[in-house]
Structure 1
Amino acid sequence: MTTLKRLFGAALGVLLVVLATNVTTFSASAQTIKMGYADAELVLVNLPEYKTNAERVQRQIVSSQKELEALSGELQGDMQKFEKQAPILSPEKLAERQQELQQRYLALQQQGASKEQELAEFEADLMNPLIEKVGNAVNEVAAANGLDVVFKSPGLLYVNAATVKDITADVARSLGIQVSETDEAASPVGQ
């Protein structure tokens, strides 16, 4: 039994030495990692294409809302007529009209859900290429600055400016735009 304890103790000792060596090695290599951050959202919303696409999406939303509101108003008007006529309708005609109105109501709900999905796809089709464009610019600027890791700045609460480089302005410049210092200052990083 004591031989087993000694063997187990020796194995545990070797394991601890290996772990300690790996932690020390990791700590030493972690000090050489170059980090940066970029507020990709700030860059994105300052792209001229973003503003144009956002306006297109908004116009599409308004158009869809008007269309659905018109159909809803039409249905409500027909429901009010039905309520007024209900006392004089035969039971068969009453059931028929109720079923017709119910089907129109369900169709309107389905049309609303379909419009919502279409709008989401429309927005994604317009915005995804811009998001990819900004992401590529972040990657290029990070590589040019020799950064190993780039964080999204809105996700950071505190950044030590001496150890982490803000590449937001560089990313914007690489895309041919400028972000104002007040926009960057409004970002939660570096405070």
Structure 2
Amino acid sequence: MSKILAFAGSGRKHSYNFAAVKKAAEGATQAGCDVTVVDMSEYADIPIFTEDLEAEHGMPEKAKALKELLKSHDAFLIASPEYNSGYSALFKNAIDWASRKEEGEKPLEAFKGKFAALIAASPGGLGGIRVLVPVRLLLSNIGVNVLGDQLAISNVGNLVNDEHQISDEVTVKKLHNIGKQLASMLK
């Protein structure tokens, strides 16, 4: 069974992007994939990557754990918040650490040849669409095959319920569909 890792580039409590990626993960599960959903707030305390830090201390344990998760999955469902038209520092730091080659590994082993589907959710009118271009560029540059279809959800604050879950039926269907699309790439 194909394995998908689902996460949001946000460590914020009640993140709209985390709510979105969880709904997309449901669609991938319905399509027959084994999906692991990761809350990136668990990795928010990984030190900011520098080669000096890496040379002196090696890869931090949490960064290694996240890298192993990435390596053990065939594809990624990623929802990214938009911060000043770009992705979050948490997301970029996780990618930077996971891209580092360790002894016995192939270059970019956690990413090369894998697939990804992209989502952005924002309370604003553009739905985070501006972040999807830099996320796509970053992932493509490290060997990830990014699906052509992507999803930007605008005014997401109006689409969640009191439990901070996306409850709007049309939006849930779109999210399920992007998860199913990613799953279909793995068959």
TM-score (norm 1): 0.24
Of structures 1 and 2, the one scoring higher in RCO (CA 8 A, sep 6+) is: 1
Q: Which has the greater radius of gyration?
A: 1
More strand by share: 2
TM-score (norm 2): 0.24
